[in-house]
């Protein structure tokens, strides 16, 4: 191609570009994203990127959603967002039904494609035509009668708008442009909200809390081998690849200290420069430490809890038979403190500051901790709300408390109020045990944590639930991001009025004032 021809091609591209963009956006820009079927009743039958024995170990490119026996077939399938149909064929997958692909333009200009497989016309004998516009929630098809049982195959992609694909691939789906569809929908439901400020995605689920620095920037460890520093609004400033697995980054002597799985500790500054390093003898930590006054208490590969001194050089004591840490709380005084610890096997340990185990109390289900009166510990369990003193004596704190357990949480306030969430209902009691209010919170699942800022109660779950309840017990804000069982839950309200959260593989910032404006 000569220079003149190249200039003509460039000219026509410039002329046609606005029309191409208009064609993409004349079906509307995405302002809301929803699930293609009822998320309350449909379940995940096969997840994204799962290797399938029925398909020679190939990886699943979407999520198979199932509504139950005798209910999935002919159920409506809805568009997840505004968009333009780029593929529609009732025999797209032959005997396994039809397929529809919809192009979605997002406010930032990014384009994604949603794909719906194993479908048939909802009414009449035709699927919606190619190039037609659809709105979020519009019925576009029905679930067909396909093998091995009627279900919806749901995908999100960044490419391939005009072919349904095979549903399985030998390569990693992410590398081919597929995305986890349920994660995509859950995150977009929050990312599209006006109170969403920013988000930063890690390559893997975070295993240890980020470390906030004085300017609200933060350090975080991704995949154990990558250390990143992000600005206060989530932009990555730098990343450093480490030669061995790091399990935590904590503050120490005005700097940041990395702890590695082999017991090595090393300074790192705000610019990513590594400093002095040393190894703590007989320490092989497996997770983030408990910060107990000036000490660090680490779970170890030997199933122990090991205390490291204030100089981060020596082991002070070790407690055996600690299979893993689920929750913990320090209570007592600076000079006479006790650790209340819930293990992953639902056993409550009370351990003195000198490493003496006062008691091991097995529980039926999980428990949540709070600060009690007179330097005691409150434990909210399946058996109710209990007070534990410095001698590890248990007494019933609130006779009429609802049952706690795996999905329950406890929050104690500076006013002496106790706020209990039993997995369905949140209740507040004053210091005289009188109930102040109660409110139902529907759809909250998984392990739950609670905090209070400016008199507003914050509830978070490992499955990505985020809710705020005002001091009178009124639910005044609720959203959800993607989370899964075992996800890290971390939160902090900065002096810039940004609520920073870490759940699963993301850290995000919410405008606290806008999120709580209805409170």
With a cut of 80, say whether residue 5 has pLDDT above it: no
3-state helix, strand, coil in the chain (%, to 5): 10, 45, 45
The CATH code of the domain that includes 73 is 2.70.70.10
Say yes or no: 68 and 177 in one domain: yes
Say yes or no: 331 and 318 in one domain: no
Cβ neighbours of residue 65 under 8 Å, at least 6 residues apart? Answer: 36, 37, 42, 43, 44, 45, 151, 152, 154
On whether residue 357 sits in a domain, the answer given is yes
110/114 Cα distance (integer angstroms): 13
Side-chain half-sphere exposure of 247, counting CA atoms within 13 A: 21
On whether residue 72 sits in a domain, the answer given is yes
Say yes or no: 284 and 415 in one domain: no
What's the confidence (pLDDT) of residue 334? Answer: 87
The rounded percent of the chain whose pLDDT value lies above 90 is 89
Per residue in 464-503, pLDDT (tens digit) is 999 999 999 999 999 999 999 999 999 999 999 999 999 9
7/2 Cα distance (integer angstroms): 9
322, 343, 374: which is the final residue of a domain? Answer: 322
- Strands in 58-60's sheet, in edge-to-edge order, are 51-52, 58-60, 168-169
Average pLDDT over residues 425-447: 96
Q: Which domain holds residue 58?
A: 23-188
Say yes or no: 27 and 169 in one domain: yes
Say yes or no: 298 and 367 in one domain: no
Cβ neighbours of residue 425 under 8 Å, at least 6 residues apart? Answer: 402, 438, 439, 440, 441
On whether residue 237 sits in a domain, the answer given is no
Alpha-carbon torsion angle 297, 304, 276, 502, nearest 10: -60
With a cut of 50, say whether residue 11 has pLDDT above it: no
The rounded percent of the chain whose pLDDT value lies above 70 is 95
On whether residue 456 sits in a domain, the answer given is no
Q: Out of 20-29, 264-273, 447-456, which region has the weakest mean confidence (pLDDT)?
A: 20-29
400, 416, 440: which is the final residue of a domain? Answer: 440
With a cut of 90, say whether residue 73 has pLDDT above it: yes
What's the confidence (pLDDT) of residue 4? Answer: 53
Say yes or no: 364 and 310 in one domain: no
Say yes or no: 313 and 335 in one domain: no
What's the confidence (pLDDT) of residue 53? Answer: 87
On whether residue 120 sits in a domain, the answer given is yes
Read off the tokens for 131: 């190039």
Say yes or no: 299 and 331 in one domain: no
The tally of domains found in the chain comes to 3
148, 166, 188: which is the final residue of a domain? Answer: 188
Say yes or no: 356 and 315 in one domain: no
What's the confidence (pLDDT) of residue 9? Answer: 44
With a cut of 50, say whether residue 20 has pLDDT above it: no
CA dihedral sign, ordered 476, 403, 288, 340 = positive
On whether residue 418 sits in a domain, the answer given is yes
Say yes or no: 34 and 164 in one domain: yes
The CATH code of the domain that includes 418 is 2.120.10.30
CA dihedral sign, ordered 203, 205, 211, 213 = positive
On whether residue 417 sits in a domain, the answer given is yes
On whether residue 488 sits in a domain, the answer given is no
What's the confidence (pLDDT) of residue 71? Answer: 86
Read off the tokens for 180: 């986890």
Say yes or no: 95 and 169 in one domain: yes
Average pLDDT of the residues of the chain: 93
Say yes or no: 424 and 358 in one domain: yes
């Amino acid at each position: 191609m000569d220079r003149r021809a190249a200039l003509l091609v460039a000219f026509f591209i410039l002329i046609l570009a606005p029309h191409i963009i208009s064609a993409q956006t004349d079906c509307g820009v995405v302002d809301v994203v929803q699930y293609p079927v009822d998320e309350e009743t449909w379940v995940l039958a096969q997840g994204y990127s799962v290797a399938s024995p029925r398909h020679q170990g190939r990886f699943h490119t979407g999520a198979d959603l199932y509504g139950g026996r005798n209910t999935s077939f002919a159920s409506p399938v809805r568009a997840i967002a505004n968009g333009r149909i780029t593929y529609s064929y009732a025999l797209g997958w032959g005997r396994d039904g039809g397929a529809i692909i919809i192009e979605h333009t997002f406010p930032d200009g990014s384009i994604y494609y949603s794909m719906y497989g194993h479908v048939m016309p909802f009414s009449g004998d035709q699927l919606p035509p190619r190039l037609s516009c659809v709105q979020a929630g519009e019925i576009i098809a029905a679930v067909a009668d396909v093998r091995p049982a009627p279900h919806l195959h749901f995908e999100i992609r960044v490419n391939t708008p005009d072919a349904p694909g095979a549903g399985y691939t030998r390569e990693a789906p992410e590398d081919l442009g597929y995305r986890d569809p349920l994660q995509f929908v859950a995150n977009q439901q929050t990312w599209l909200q006006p109170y969403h400020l920013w988000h930063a995605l890690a390559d893997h689920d975070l295993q240890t809390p980020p470390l906030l620095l004085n300017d609200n920037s933060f350090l975080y460890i991704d995949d154990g081998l990558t250390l990143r520093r992000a600005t206060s609004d989530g932009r990555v400033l730098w990343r450093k690849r480490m030669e061995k697995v790091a399990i935590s980054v904590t503050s120490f002597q005005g700097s940041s200290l990395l702890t590695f799985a082999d017991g090595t500790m090393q300074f790192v500054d705000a610019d990513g420069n590594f400093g002095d390093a040393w190894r703590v003898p007989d320490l092989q930590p497996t997770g983030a430490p408990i910060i107990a006054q000036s000490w660090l208490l680490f779970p170890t590969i030997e199933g122990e809890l090991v205390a490291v001194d204030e100089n981060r050089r020596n082991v002070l004591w070790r407690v055996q038979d600690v299979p893993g840490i689920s929750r913990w709380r320090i209570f007592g005084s600076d000079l006479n403190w006790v650790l209340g610890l819930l293990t992953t096997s639902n056993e409550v340990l009370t351990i003195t500051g000198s490493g003496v185990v006062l008691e091991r109390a097995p529980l039926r289900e999980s428990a949540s901790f709070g600060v009690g009166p007179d330097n005691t510990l409150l434990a909210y369990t399946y058996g109710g709300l209990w007070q534990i003193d410095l001698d590890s004596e248990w007494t019933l704190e609130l006779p009429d408390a609802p049952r706690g357990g795996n999905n329950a949480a406890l929050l104690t306030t500076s006013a002496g109020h106790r706020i209990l969430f039993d997995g369905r209902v949140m209740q507040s009691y004053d210091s005289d045990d009188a109930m102040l209010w109660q409110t139902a919170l529907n759809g909250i699942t998984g392990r739950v944590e609670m905090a209070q800022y400016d008199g507003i109660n914050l509830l978070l779950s490992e499955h990505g639930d985020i809710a705020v309840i005002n001091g009178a017990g009124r639910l005044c804000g609720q959203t959800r991001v993607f989370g899964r069982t075992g996800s890290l839950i971390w939160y902090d309200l900065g002096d810039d009025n940004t609520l920073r959260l870490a759940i699963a593989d993301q850290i995000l910032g919410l405008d606290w004032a806008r999120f709580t404006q209805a409170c």
